[in-house]
Amino acid sequence: MKIHSHKFCVAPMMDYTDTHFRYFLRQLSSNIFLYTEMVSCDAIIFGNRDGLLKYHPGEHPVGLQIGGSSIEKMTEAAIIGEAFGYDEINLNIGCPSPRVQKGNFGACLMSDPNLVSEIILAIKKRVKIPVTVKCRLGIDDQDIEKELPIFMNSITGAGVDLVIVHARKAILSGITPKENRTIPELNYNAVYAIKEYISDKEIIINGGINSIGEIYEHLKYTDGVMLGRKIINDPIFALEVDEKLFSPNGNKNLKRIIENYSDYADRQTSIGTSRSQIIKPIMSLFNNRPNAKKWRRGLDQYRNSNYSALDYITELHANFIDGVEFKY
Ligand SMILES: Cc1cc2nc3c(=O)[nH]c(=O)nc-3n(C[C@H](O)[C@H](O)[C@H](O)COP(=O)(O)O)c2cc1C
């Protein structure tokens, strides 16, 4: 079984990390481990499977994140995911949304380590690819020091291959899923402590990571970092991380990356993908840089036109960078 490097992961993010965003990120770095948005096991089994699971072969390595609490259905979903060629099955044990709680999965499973372990055991009997978990430090008033080691020991005993920990608790009532990404306090030391007591498992740290300096610091104590919102808001940061962590002499060329993506965009729109979907991954490309508005306005014009992306977006980029100093 091959576990790909998870030194640098981009987080599963609903409504963002779809196949187009992942394809674009792959142009920025060949070293990112990518994840799908969470897909419920019911959707995989009963829904439009191709629509939900199809991806571009150039995205690899990419993990499929699944959500659910039925041992049988989670196993069936994992088998289907493996057949689609995903490199990993990741179990969502961190989502606090009311809809997910109603299905008794996501973060609420932090209080049921036995069930999570049974799901892992059952899936591992049937698939060959790694089975990993993305979880929180705990939920509500759980005592992290007491209950987190129980959870970790349990899933380790079941053979989990790697664990990603969002370094904060989830609060299951009274705050929104969005607030659950800011209000519960970040506690990186609790994640470092997990790595100390289960040192033979890869532990990936997630939550609030925004700079190269922070990444270096986390890598002293864990095996990898997972970034979410920073990459949505500033995708070029993925280029910087790639250069710093993997290819110090790398010569990434944003112009070529944009050309590749525009070519991909034309192929996608010719088979019916909407222009809105296609431009979403590159909309925030130059946020906080000079002329960011000009870029976004240009993409809006492309959205409302019949122009080819290869003509229009590459031209937009050429005009955009004209006279502006950029590293990439
Ligand atoms: C818009 C959005 C959607 C998300 N969807 C998922 C998801 O489908 N599955 C999941 O495990 N976490 C999801 N998350 C949580 C992220 O994976 C990550 O754990 C969280 O944003 C903290 O990392 P960050 O501070 O680097 O953004 C989502 C986060 C955002 C912002």
Contacts of 56-59 spanning 24+ positions with Cβ under 8 A: 56/19, 56/22, 56/23, 56/264, 57/85, 58/23, 58/26, 59/19, 59/22, 59/23, 59/26, 59/34
Using the 8-state DSSP alphabet, how is residue 122 labeled? H
Q: Which is catalytic among the residues 41, 95, 108, 135?
A: 95
Average pLDDT over residues 161-169: 98
Query: Rounded to the nearest whole angstrom, what is the distance from the C-alpha of residue 228 to the centroid of ligand 1?
Result: 6
Q: Given this model, what pLDDT does residue 326 score?
A: 63
Query: Rounded to the nearest whole angstrom, what is the distance from the C-alpha of residue 103 to the centroid of ligand 1?
Result: 19
Does an H or E element contain 241, and which? helix 236-245
Q: What share of the chain has pLDDT > 90, as a percent?
A: 89
> What is the residue-averaged pLDDT of the chain?
95
Indicate if 9 belongs to the active site. no
- Among candidates 257, 141, 258, 148, which has minimal Cα distance to 203? 148
Q: Given this model, what pLDDT does residue 131 score?
A: 98
Pairing of the two strands 131-135 and 162-166: parallel
- Which residue has a Cα nearest atom 28 of ligand 1? 13
Q: Given this model, what pLDDT does residue 322 score?
A: 65
Structure tokens at 203: 């532990």
Average pLDDT over residues 133-144: 97
214 lines ligand 1 (CB under 6 A): no
**Residue 136 to residue 141: CA distance in whole angstroms:** 13
Q: Given this model, what pLDDT does residue 323 score?
A: 60
Query: Rounded to the nearest whole angstrom, what is the distance from the C-alpha of residue 51 to the centroid of ligand 1?
Result: 22
Q: What share of the chain has pLDDT > 70, as a percent?
A: 98
234 lines ligand 1 (CB under 6 A): no
Give 138's pLDDT tier (boundaries 50, 70, 90).
very high
Give 249's pLDDT tier (boundaries 50, 70, 90).
confident
Mutate to test the pocket of ligand 1, among 8, 9, 13, 109 (most ligand atoms within 8 A of CB): 13
**Residue 83 to residue 277: CA distance in whole angstroms:** 26
Contacts of 207 by beta carbon, 8 Å cutoff, 6+ apart: 166, 167, 168, 181, 186, 188
Q: Given this model, what pLDDT does residue 58 score?
A: 97
298 lines ligand 1 (CB under 6 A): no
CA trace torsion 241, 245, 246, 252 (10° rounding): 30
Q: Given this model, what pLDDT does residue 325 score?
A: 59
Q: Given this model, what pLDDT does residue 248 score?
A: 81
Q: Please answer whether residues 207 and 189 qualify as being in contact, where contact means their C-beta atoms are separated by less than 8 angstroms.
A: no
Mutate to test the pocket of ligand 1, among 9, 14, 183, 188 (most ligand atoms within 8 A of CB): 14
Domains and CATH numbers, the chain: 8-245 (3.20.20.70), 254-321 (1.20.120.1460)
Average pLDDT over residues 303-310: 96
Q: Please answer whether residues 16 and 235 qualify as being in contact, where contact means their C-beta atoms are separated by less than 8 angstroms.
A: no
191-245 pLDDT, tens digit per residue, is 999 999 999 999 999 999 999 999 999 999 999 999 999 999 999 999 999 999 9
Q: Given this model, what pLDDT does residue 158 score?
A: 98
Q: Structure pTM?
A: 0.97
Angle CA 40–41–46, to nearest 5: 105
Average pLDDT over residues 154-167: 98
